[in-house]
């Protein structure tokens, strides 16, 4: 009976490993249609593709083929790589994203494990705009869309006040790899949307429990926050109960 029990345990373990590996390779695209009374009319219907936490994963065509043809902007929410990921693989991923539209990047904790200067050179060559504790403005007619990027909070590189300094009025989107940035926010910052990753949704959840909360879209008092499960994995190439995800955000003017 002991031998039989051991065999059954091995079979169950093998099946679970196969399942977790398969789950980690999913290409999930979630579309969110978000309504904001503060959204300028010029940007009604704008589409943003948000992806974070690629780590070691290669961006697959199966995912890209699901995207609408009219993506306006791409935001990479950090952890584009981790230690020992070759820059040429990163370049291939970035080139695929850059073909979708103007691309913006904020640093995550694992990005600093790689060749920092090499990555910055790659961004310049591929025309990806880094948002390192600063903002950039997209103007259309007389309206403005403001992307505000905060550097990695986990390494203590975040400077929210610097990122917001002199930022104009308009529809404000804050991008921070680490979602804990919300504890620094208050109504005076006049933010509309906050985008984060980092947690992987716990990556491996047993009986609904994990080390981190599942990714979610949450309405706070003065802004909406999206925390993504992310696209890749770290540590082990497995997921359980926290499938990978990427996002198309369709911004609409008005009340939901």
**Domain carrying residue 221:** 2-253
Q: What is the domain count for the chain?
A: 1
pLDDT (tens, 9 = 90+) of the chain, 256 residues, equals: 677 666 655 555 667 889 999 999 999 999 999 999 999 999 999 999 999 999 999 999 999 999 999 999 999 999 999 999 999 999 999 999 999 999 999 999 999 999 999 999 999 999 999 999 999 999 999 999 999 999 999 999 999 999 999 999 999 999 999 999 999 999 999 999 999 999 999 999 998 899 999 999 999 999 999 999 999 999 999 999 999 999 999 999 998 6
**What is this structure's pTM?**
0.95
In angstroms, the CA 126 to CA 36 distance is 32
| DSSP state, residue 249 | E
Contact between 22 and 238 under an 8 Å Cβ cutoff? The reply is: no
214 phi, psi to nearest 5 deg: -60, 150
Helices 87-98/116-126 angle, 10° precision = 30
233 phi, psi to nearest 5 deg: -135, 165
Q: Would you state the pLDDT for residue 4?
A: 60
Q: Would you state the pLDDT for residue 3?
A: 73
In angstroms, the CA 210 to CA 204 distance is 6
In angstroms, the CA 215 to CA 129 distance is 26
Q: Would you state the pLDDT for residue 17?
A: 87
Q: What CATH number has the domain bearing residue 249?
A: 3.60.21.10
Those residues with Cβ within 8 angstroms of residue 55's Cβ, 6 or more apart along the chain or in another chain: 79, 81, 82, 85, 110, 230, 232, 233, 234
In angstroms, the CA 184 to CA 181 distance is 6
Beta strands 29-36 and 47-51, pairing class: unpaired
């Amino acid at each position: 009976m002991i031998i039989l029990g051991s065999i059954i345990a091995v079979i169950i373990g093998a099946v679970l490993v196969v399942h977790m590996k398969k789950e980690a390779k999913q290409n999930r695209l979630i579309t969110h249609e978000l309504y904001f009374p503060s959204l300028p009319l010029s940007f009604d219907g704008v589409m943003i593709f948000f992806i974070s936490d690629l780590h070691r994963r290669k961006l697959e065509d199966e995912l890209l083929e699901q995207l609408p043809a009219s993506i306006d902007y791409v935001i990479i929410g950090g952890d584009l790589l981790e230690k020992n990921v070759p820059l040429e693989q990163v370049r291939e991923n970035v080139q695929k994203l850059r073909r979708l539209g103007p691309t913006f990047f904020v640093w995550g904790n694992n990005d600093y494990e790689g060749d920092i200067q090499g990555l910055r050179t790659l961004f310049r060559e591929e025309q990806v705009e880094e948002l390192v504790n600063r903002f950039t403005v997209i103007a259309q007619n007389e309206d403005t869309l403001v992307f505000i990027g905060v550097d990695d909070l986990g390494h203590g590189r975040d400077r929210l006040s610097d990122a917001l300094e002199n930022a104009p009025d308009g529809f404000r989107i804050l991008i921070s790899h680490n979602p804990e940035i919300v504890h620094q926010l208050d109504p005076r910052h006049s933010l509309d949307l906050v985008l984060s990753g980092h947690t992987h949704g716990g990556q491996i959840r047993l009986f609904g429990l994990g080390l981190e909360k599942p990714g979610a879209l949450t309405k706070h008092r003065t802004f909406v926050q999206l925390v993504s499960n992310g696209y890749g994995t770290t540590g082990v190439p497995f997921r359980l109960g926290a499938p990978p995800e990427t996002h198309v955000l369709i911004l609409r003017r008005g009340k939901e």
